[in-house]
Amino acid sequence: MILRTKMTQSEPTSVSLVLTTYNWPEALAAVLDSIQQQQMLPMEVLIADDGSTERTRECIDRYRMNFPCPLIHVWHEDHGYQAAKIRNKTVLQANGDYLIFLDSDCLLRPDFVAQHVELSRPRHFVAGNRVLLSESFTKEVLEQGLMVTNQPPFSFSTSQVNRRWSLFNMPMGPFRHTRPGTWKGVKACNMSMFRQDFLEANGFEENFEGWGYEDSDLIVRLLHAGLKRISGRFATTVIHLWHSSNKSLLEEGNWNRLQETINSNRSKAQLGIEQHPRS
């Protein structure tokens, strides 16, 4: 990949990395290690903490002392799964003009930030993907502190990762634009957009509580507003640590909310970022 050497008016000038976490400091530490290895550092990393205990705060404080860019911890009390709300509160603290969203169970390869910037376009969002580590290999990575983000794709065995081929970097060219109006498959663990577009959409819809579809709802509303999708496959792929499923009983209700948004022409969240004052 050839990095841009000169920014134009339409390109991001500063990147805020928004990292959602909840009570898994071991995984968070591994993700922060991978951020420190980035070829292009973000201007800041903001941790959207959905009510973790002091162990997570202690982890962040340890890293903050020597982290290569500002590390900002945004926390609210634990009232169940409220990822939409904590992400909105966190974006209000962001200073970058471009937002990259990820979760604290996703390890970043060294060119992750640079690739998101390279793919960015005005009035577009980038939809990345992930490969999944096995349960046993995830345990090994965390316990031994393995830096798997630097490994070439075929150094992984098929028992360690589900799709080795997804870790290859390929230019893809016009094939990145073959599904410009599709919301399916876009996940908040790996997506990016201009901050202004996020704010105009009123951020995440906070009526989504419990697991599921708050990220899909945001993407549908961005599409309603005229934004287009750019595929980040074979460029921004993250390495996802295994964990047990945490889907809640509210998933069906969230699916129904998503269907209502799809069938509307709504481009702004009804209960979104605008309700929160910026401190």
Strands 98-103 vs 15-21: parallel, antiparallel or unpaired: parallel
Q: Which residues contact 258 (CB under 8 A, 6 or more apart)?
A: 213, 216, 217, 220
The residue extents of the domains of the chain are 15-268
Residues 206-229 pLDDT 10s:
999 888 899 999 999 999 999 999
Q: Which residues contact 249 (CB under 8 A, 6 or more apart)?
A: 210
Residues 156-195 pLDDT 10s:
999 999 999 999 999 999 999 999 999 999 999 999 999 9
What mean pLDDT value characterizes the chain? Answer: 93
Q: Is the pLDDT of residue 4 over 60?
A: no
* Correct CATH for 15-268 of 3.40.50.1820, 2.60.40.10, 3.40.50.360, 3.90.550.10: 3.90.550.10
Q: Over pLDDT 90: what percentage of the chain? A: 88
Q: What is the pLDDT of residue 248?
A: 59
Residues 34-52 pLDDT 10s:
999 999 999 999 999 999 9
